[in-house]
Amino acid sequence: MAPSIVIDPGHGGYDSGAQFEGRKEKDDVLRLALAVGELLKERGYTVYYTRTTDTYDSPLEKARIANETNGDYFISFHRNSSPRPNTYQGVESLVYEENEVVNAIANGINRQLEQVGIENLGIEERPGLVVLRRTKREENTISFDDLTVDMGSRKVYRGGEKINLTPKEYALLEVLITHRNLALSREKLISMVWTYDYEGDTRTVDVHIQQLRQKLGLKDRIKTIYKVGYRLEL
């Protein structure tokens, strides 16, 4: 059977998304999403939508709606804009985590659009985005030392006891785990864990790393890489 696809037209209702001279992202992406959905249905795919009208749901609510379907894949449509003309161009696919299947889909989308003249800006990992983070993925639990990290329920246990992490601390931990044994720069961590246009400084990363080291006893596991950033050694 063909896989089923959940399409999320970004924003909606009082959340217009990006705007340019009266034109609103929420309207553009809804039209695009419905058109793409029709094409997919014609080709035999089952399509679900998080919205088909101009309604608002928070990203968290959208993830919940998506999780209630039997969708195999989740894709959210967005369209950037800026008051300064020609700031944004091209197509970019943001993914929770790069892997063979995800990259095949994202590259497929990017390359098809490239063929009709749209610049291909590639794939970027953005596990900090709520709709990507909170849509269900295959269950995945990892244990090391006295820690168990359940990436399905997003809970962390130390010696059997649940440890309370802030959402950002948890997101940072998950990024370190999925990229274990790799050095990650502070800038890379910011772009992956914090939101799309976060403009805080990189010391925020240091503070969160300190918290993880302390709360989870990871002093020896999370290495500081001089002049670069951090690496979780497992």
Q: Does 59 bind Zn ion (CB under 5 A)?
A: no
Supply the minimum distance, in Å, between the C-beta of residue 129 and Zn ion. Answer: 10
Round to whole Å and give the CA distance between 98 and 181: 16
Minimum CB distance to Zn ion smaller for 10 or for 229: 10
Question: How many residues interact with Zn ion (rule CB under 5 A)?
Answer: 3
Among 9, 10, 12, 128, binds Zn ion (CB under 5 A): 10
Lay out the sheet containing 229-232: strands in order across: 184-185, 229-232, 222-225
Contact segment (CB under 5 A) with Zn ion among 5-13, 52-60, 97-105, 107-115 equals: 5-13
x-or-dash string of contact with Zn ion, 66-105, rule CB under 5 A: ------------x---------------------------
Alpha-carbon distances, residue 57 vs 68, 130, 131, 133, 144 (angstroms): 15, 12, 11, 16, 38
**Smallest gap from residue 33 Cβ to Zn ion (A):** 12
Residue 82's closest CA among 17, 12, 13? 17
> Cα(147)–Cα(149) distance, rounded to whole angstroms?
7
Cβ partners under 8 Å of residue 195, min gap 6: 128, 129
DSSP 217: T
Q: Which stretch binds Zn ion (CB under 5 A): 11-19, 95-103, 135-143, 226-234?
A: 11-19
The only residue of 9, 17, 37, 128 in contact with Zn ion, by rule CB under 5 A: 17
- Determine the Cα–Cα distance for residues 92 and 119; give it in Å rounded to an integer: 9
Among residues 4 and 80, whose Cβ is nearest to Zn ion? 80
| Interface ranges with Zn ion (CB under 5 A) | 10, 17, 78
